Amino acid sequence: MKMLAPWRTRRSEPGHRTGGGDTLSMFRSRMNELFDEMFQESPAKELFFAGDDWTRAEGPSFEVSESDEELRVKAELPGIDEKDVEVTVENGMLLVKGEKRSERDEKRRRYHVSEVSYGSFERSIPLPAGADVDAAKASFDKGVLTLVLPKRQVAESSAKRIPLSKG
């Protein structure tokens, strides 16, 4: 299945990330390997992992988990104000937009380490069928955004059996 709208992010102000980033990239690629192993046979992988696209994702880290009752999306957004985060749902896509404002006052500060990224980001995630957008709840705590979308009970007979006639 080819993703129409894969994970994507956009940064308006790249390049603040120096030093230490390598460790995280290493960690990310190792995590990707682990998840590749874990989801090798899972249809969920095709739904959420858009080929290599997601491995290139920069910006905030997301986590999507699913139970029978709900879909849970969490995003690490440290240092981002609640008012600078926007969550919308359109055409079955969940869109999380935000901006981490920099308060860098270059004149007074002498930087020795600068790894934290600032700027805006945008991320879209395809929602599975049955996710109840109207009952979605969002909360923001300690720099972590949590979205909970309950699942509507989808009729189990959505897959129609076609009878075979002998002939």
Partner 1 sequence: MSENVITGTAKGDVTREDDLPVFIPYADVYETPDSLWIRCDLPGVSEDDLEITLEKKVLTLSGRQMNQGRVGAEPVAAEYRTGIYQRSFSLNRDVDEGSVKARLRNGVLDLEIPKSPEAKPRRIPISGA
Contact 92/126 with Cβ under 8 angstroms? yes
Contact with partner 1 (CB under 8 A) among 3, 5, 11, 57: 57
- Asked if residue 61 binds partner 1 (CB under 8 A), the reply is yes
Q: How many CA atoms lie within 13 A of 10 on its CB side?
A: 8
Stretch that binds partner 1, among 89-97, 102-110, 129-137, 149-157 (CB under 8 A): 102-110
Contact 13/119 with Cβ under 8 angstroms? yes
**Could you tell me the smallest distance in angstroms from the CB atom of residue 161 to partner 1?**
27
**Residue with structure tokens 């980033």?**
21
**Could you tell me the smallest distance in angstroms from the CB atom of residue 152 to partner 1?**
17
Contact with partner 1 (CB under 8 A) among 2, 83, 142, 161: 142
- DSSP letter for 20, please: S
Q: What is the DSSP string of 115-134?
A: ----EEEEEEEEPPTTB-GG
**Could you tell me the smallest distance in angstroms from the CB atom of residue 93 to partner 1?**
15
- Asked if residue 81 binds partner 1 (CB under 8 A), the reply is yes
